[in-house]
Structure 1
Amino acid sequence: MDKLSSIEAFICAVESGNFTEAARRLDISAVMVGKHVRQLEELLDSRLLQRNTRRQHLTEAGESYYQQCKAALAQLRLAEDTVENMKRTPSGLLRISAPLNLGSAAIATLVARYQLNYPQVRIELDLSDSFVDLIGQGFDFAIRIGSLHPAEPLVAKKIGDYRMVVCAAPKYLAQHGTPQTPEALYQHRCLANMAWNKSNAWQLGDVFWPADSSFICNDGQALRQAALAGAGLVLQPEILLAEDIAAGRLVPVLQQWQQASRPIHLLWRQDLSPSEKRSSFIAWLHEQLPLALAV
């Protein structure tokens, strides 16, 4: 017999007044109730209940043990209810890693809207183009663009497509002309992200975006501002430039060589236990991100 069952039987025997009524409430035999109580008395080496043919009463040790066990069981039930409630209602901390440009342009807004729906969830959103170690650094989710590393022990779910567009300010095009082919990029001032390298370089047809760009920065918003100022051609996510394009502040070029989109995946650890918090976030991002990207 386990100790918790014995404690529950002891408390029930005290509160019901006798072993027979306790047995009825617990759906066990009165003999089994007695065995539970005797097991506790042997374990504690103390008499807990004094019984005769007509009544029972707690000893001094029994009274102390009863009060403390009752409080402990109440606390245990509260803990169980809390965990059960967490399964039903999303709550607790979500740690999310996302790429800088996509994160600032779309993910931050979507995460904030998710939190409005589930206010008991606390959000920690880390924006970086570095690949975080979900297991080692304790992240719940990571959002990544492009091909995945199959060796990673992670679950991956595609949640959208990352589309790029080449744009320039009207004043830049008026001064330098509009490129008609990707090869013409080498005669233009091009803005580039210093995070791009041979493994993640963007390509138009057979032409890679010029590595020897005239303006290099590690932030998409800064590159956008440089393009708006007329510093050159910019290659950035469509979602980041959509409002400028719609307003005529930037003009798309080389559209017939539209960049091939790259998949966006949501990743999480295989060992994560299911919870309403995680399940609701996966469902939310899978539904909302494609809508945000459909500019």
Structure 2
Amino acid sequence: MDKLRSMEVFVTAVDAGSFAAAAKALDMSAVMVGKHVQQLEAHLGARLLQRSTRSQGLTEVGRSFLDDCKRVLEQVRWAESAVERSRQAPQGLLRVSAPVTLGSLVIAPLAAEFLHEHPQVRLDLQLTDSVADLTGESLDAAIRIGRVSDESLVARPLTPYRMVIAGSPAYLKQHGVPQRAADLSRHVCLSHAVWQRRNEWTLHDGGSAVRWPASARFVCNQGDGLRRAALAGLGLVMQPEVLLAEDLAAGHLVPVLHHCLPEPRAVNLVYASDRRPLPKLARFVEHVVRALGATEPEPPRRARRGA
């Protein structure tokens, strides 16, 4: 009986809420998850879980044993990481999350450079516009756009995220060039599906604030789809500078409303502050910060109580 493995399976089954969910997380069958739990119960001579066809719950003994298991597994992970920290060459799997557009256009090429420099490292880059949970998703680091509110994370500031408003020459010839933000109400505006009040972009024109039109004729949940619609002459697009840079340089898109663009948003490379970064993470952070021109790092911050 592999006690440590069975303890890991037991903890995962409790955290995941079911044997099926634990099996998916551990890449094993639900039957095997059940066998590990049964082996623990037989070894301890006590029932750890009360299960029915619809739910499962911890027994009193199970609750106590769960806390002990987590402490033991954390000590094992720390012992393993201590060995890795002692190695000079970065190695092992590095898991990083980044927003889709910034990740594909900027972070992915940097990751390729990093892997060329460190052949013993493997990198899993997850592209998503959702805010990734570093602990819950077992991530080493994440690129986040906007203010970092989690004070348990170290935040390394990167180049700010700037937006550009543009249209194709054909569209602007037909509809005219907008001179003020208020003119957008008379234009066809292309909008991103995830722009909501909590993360929408606001244009500033003199003393007034204008939101990018919510009732757009064309909505897409992916920036490159909006870019291609703008290139086809459908309307005005507001997208990150990194996405439109080549089209602007080639004259396929023409920038407008320079004076009322949204304020650039902060971009940070974040990782947990409650551990010493392993070589693979430390070198990756250095690589990204060096490439994207970050300022001095913010000191590690402790999470507020109850956060």
Q: Is the 8 A contact 1:99 1:127 kept in 2?
A: yes
Task: Please show how residues 173-192 of structure 1 align to structure 2 within 5 Å.
Answer: 173-192=172-191
Aligned to 1:100: 100
Q: What's the counterpart of residue 248 of structure 2? A: 245
Aligned-partner SS, 1:234: strand
Residues 191-270 of structure 1 mapped to structure 2, 5 A cutoff: 191-205=190-204, 206-270=209-273
Q: What is the CA deviation profile of residues 137-176 of structure 1, one whole-angstrom value per residue up to 9, with x for unaligned ones?
A: 10001111012223x5222111220000001000000111
Q: Which amino acid aligns with 1:107?
A: I
Separation (CA, whole Å) in 1 of partners of 2:241 and 2:86: 38
Unaligned runs of 5+ in 1: 1-78
Q: Distance in 2 between matches of 1:215 and 1:159?
A: 32
How far off is 1:85 after superposition? 7.8
**CA distance in 2 between partners of 1:254 and 1:211 (Å):** 18
Q: CA deviation at 1:87?
A: 3.2
Asked if structure 2 preserves the Cα contact closer than 8 Å seen for 1:167 and 1:234, the reply is: yes
Amino acid in the other structure paired with 1:160: T
Amino acid at match of 2:103: G
Paired letter, 2:149: H
* Equivalent residue, structure 1, for 2:300: none
3-state secondary structure, aligned to 1:149: coil
Paired with 2:137 and 2:162, the residues of 1 have a C-alpha distance of: 29
Q: Which deviations, in whole Å up to 9, do the C-alpha atoms of 1:159-205 show, x marking residues without a partner?
A: 22000000100000011111000001111100111111101111110
Between the aligned partners of 1:91 and 1:161, the Cα distance in structure 2 is 30
Q: How many residue pairs align between the two structures?
A: 211
Cα deviation for residue 84 of structure 1 reads 5.9
Note if 1:289 corresponds to 2:288.
Answer: no
Note the C-alpha offset of 1:272: 3.3
Q: Aligned ranges for residues 161-172 of structure 1 at < 5 Å?
A: 161-172=160-171
Letter in 2 for 1:272: R
SS of 1:107 mapped into structure 2: helix
Counterpart of 1:75?
none
Contact 2:157 2:267 in 1 (8 A): yes
Query: Which one has the largest radius of gyration?
Result: 1
CA offsets, 1:102-139, max 9 Å, x none?
11121111111111111111010000011111011100
> Aligned pair in 2 of structure 1 residues 86, 248: CA closer, same or farther (>3 Å)?
farther
Match in the other structure for 2:109: 109
Q: Which moved more, 1:105-114 or 1:163-172?
A: 105-114
Decide whether the 8 Å contact of 2:85 with 2:278 is kept in 1.
no
The aligned residue for residue 153 of structure 1 is 152
Evaluate the alpha carbon distance shift between residue 226 and residue 88 of structure 1 in structure 2; reply closer, same or farther with a 3 A threshold. Answer: same
Which amino acid is 1:245 matched to? L
User: Normalising to structure 1: TM-score of the pair?
Assistant: 0.68
Q: Corresponding residue for 2:121?
A: 121
One-letter amino acid of the counterpart of residue 249, structure 1? H
The question of whether the paired residues in 1 share the 8 Å contact of 2:85 and 2:279 is answered with: no
Q: Which structure's residues are more often helix, by fraction?
A: 1
Q: Helix, strand or coil: the match of 1:88?
A: coil
Contact 1:106–1:289 (Cα < 8 Å) also in 2:
no
Q: CA deviation at 1:86?
A: 6.0
Q: Distance in 1 between matches of 2:100 and 2:133?
A: 16
Q: CA deviation at 1:258?
A: 2.8
Q: Which residue of 2 is the match for residue 56 of structure 1?
A: none
In angstroms, what is the RMSD of aligned CA positions? 1.9
**3-state SS in 2 of match to 1:201:** coil
Paired residues of 1:86 and 1:275 also in contact (CA < 8 A): no
Seq. identity, %: 48
Contact 1:168 1:233 in 2 (8 A): yes
Task: For 1:227, give the aligned amino acid.
Answer: A
| CA distance in structure 2 between the aligned counterparts of 1:207 and 1:85, rounded to whole angstroms | 51
The C-alpha deviation readout for 1:2-41, integer Å capped at 9, x for no partner, is xxxxxxxxxxxxxxxxxxxxxxxxxxxxxxxxxxxxxxxx
Distance 1:96 1:256, change over 3 A: same
**Structure 2 letter corresponding to 1:255:** H
8 A Cα contact 1:172 1:230, kept in partner: yes
